[in-house]
Chain A
Amino acid sequence: MNRPFKFSLLIPVLLASATNAHAARIGELTDSSIVEQALRFFTFQDPTVRFALAGTILLGITCGLLGSFIVVRKMALVGDALSHAVLPGVAFGFLWNMSKDPVAIFIGATVAGLLGAAAVHLIRHTTRLKEDTALGLVLATFFAVGVCMLTMIQRLPTGNKSGIDKFLFGQAAAIGAGDLKLMAVITVLAILAVMLFYKEFLVTSFDSDFARSCGFATHVIHYGLMLLVAFAVVIALQAVGVVLVSSMLITPAAAAYLLTDRMHWMLFLSAIFGMLAGAFGAFFSFLGPGLPTGPFIVLGATTVFSIAFFLGPKHGVITRWFKQRSRSNRIQRENTLKSIYHVLENRSFVGESVSLRELAERRRETLEDARIQSKALARHGLATLHEDGNQIFLTPGGWQLACSIVRNHRLWELYLTNAADFAADHVHDDAEKIEHVLGDEVVRAIERRLKYANRDPHGKPIPSLEDVQRGAAPRARREDSVGYGSSI
């Protein structure tokens, strides 16, 4: 468990060293000033820090909440298109009164976003082009127009142009009091909308046909959600920038999706992850002058996603790998126990122990492999090793497991030949796999079905339940004894 966790921790460390290297190269920051900056950040003395942090946290919450619906509705590309489409609106908002007035930029960007959505709708419904193509077209065109306009604005002789270029990659430090108010309003709006219209969003996202049959205005809900997403994109522009804002919608929600199977938990986790990513980005961009915030926020979100991807309790890649490995180890132990049983059975259970050589011969493997296997049994308390590990004695627990595995194997073989009409020589390989997964319930059902038979198709005795429970070598049975033991 430890190694992957360290690996995920490495990412922020690498990032930190990257900023360090960058700072050293431009000769503006030394190690001590990074510490100073970090101190300034964590003491919140600087109003810029407070604004930046509050802003990125607010947008993290908003984007996390709305992004969850984007992800489950499979509209990730829509978020991307919307974010690129707002850029010309930002430029128009700036041109309105030649300053970075948050309200003018907000209105301009929202209008541009809606125009982009309308263009996508128009292309889809009047041509045979599908949504992804329409999105790609609109995204690129609007973005191109926006970049042209921003370049023109940069060259204008008049007006306070400072910070307009920051809309491409984001600069949390540029967040002012006016921006923050707007962000707070939109965040409250998003939270309220998700809380009040949760059931509408849920049912239309899961099954829009059914929602319509219940009388829900699915189009109104869809465009309402799109409008909220447009708002979220616009408030996120300042901090994350046009190019990367869609990742704020998608990445925290995607991480949350990997960790939970319930929509309300996904919304909650996604909002938390968005917040964390926002704070992470604000912090790192603060460490050096002119460092863009957007990429750091995105990398913060990606770090969270990586943790979910590798270590998620249900769907995590490494978690699954560990589970798989422990399962295959268990199967290997069970197979070793079975081999020991077979060796003893061939000797009619004379003697208590099996030598390493006997085990190796039975399993057709080297002495060294047999030694590794017997040590694994000893580690799990299934066997004790004597004479330098050359003699293997099963413990009561070992006997129980050995008997039950052999019993599963033989019962399954018998079931396949008797009840499912398999030929006796066709059943062994199947039983080799099934013996490890049969639950007690199925075993009992098979026994009943087989009328408590006591010999497998090859004529070998099936260990009784009593043998399994005794935790010792099975006793010789009378020919007429049945599966639950000789006493019945």
Chain B
Amino acid sequence: MMNVERLQRFNWRPVAIGFLLVLLLLMPFNWFMGQYTTLLVFIGLHTMVTVGLCLLLGYTGQVSLGQAAFYGLGAYFSAVLSKTYGVNPWLAMIIGAIATGTFAYVIAYPIFRLKGNYLAMATLGLGIIMYVLFRQMAQYTGGPDGMGGIPQLAIGSFVFDTPFKRYYLVWFFCLSILLLSQNIVNSRTGRALRAIHGSEAASASLGINVAQFKMKIFVLAAVYASLAGSLFVHHLSFVNPQPFGFLGSVMIVVMAVVGGLASIWGAIFGAAMVRILSDELLLRFGELDIVIYGLILMLVMIFTPEGLFVRLKSYYRRWQTGRLGEVEL
């Protein structure tokens, strides 16, 4: 009996989180996974964008098929301001985040008069428009060829000039965003968001300003994406429109779905799965990669609509309670 109680009382959560943190800390070292540092940086960046979509789609129930547009806005604000106008990269990043957030705020008003499929279409259109702008405003953005020579981020004389250093920078941002999002979800605001997902009429009847909450979370997701975009261009020192097109937005949706829409930490899992798939496995498929994303999306939605990560978690729980049951016998 004593043993059972101890087993039940033992909380694995901090152990698991600690293990993950140590893993994250050690991964970019050469004797561990050093050759994958760039991939790990991309996973971190995409996690940031995906968390925003999880909050918007998974918690609030508002679809966006144009998240890559905000990712791109952050990227181009940082690239153009820091390279062409010589603005301090950190300042450029902040300006980018504020400008992208403001842009999201302005379009939120008309766009959230729409619901469901219509909202999906409108955000899809937004993504396409922004992609065309990134390509066509060549005098600023460098057009389809992109622009290079974007300066590095630095703190004083410490320059983030290697992937190894940037890995820690990106994951610092990523984990901060995950933590903030986790706190938001477990709060009055998070409850309001989930309530809006459940029933807008009932939410309004309980005093929730539905339109305002949708707008706020849309802006927050846009700012997350913008920050990721800024870090992205300073990581590559180069930017072109390719990652911010329709395929980019689809990838973000697939990441959110694989990780579990209503799961903050699942975003890491989703981003990692899709990035590994796209960077390591799908290269040989060339243009067919969008077919594969479509297939993954379909399969996940049919078999584990709550998300692969969430399903695995629940299997683990069941296994654990099953084990406890045996001990009790």
Q: Do A and B come from one complex?
A: no
- Which residue numbers of A lie inside 8 Å of B, CB to CB? none
User: What residues of chain B have their CB less than 8 Å away from a CB belonging to chain A?
Assistant: none
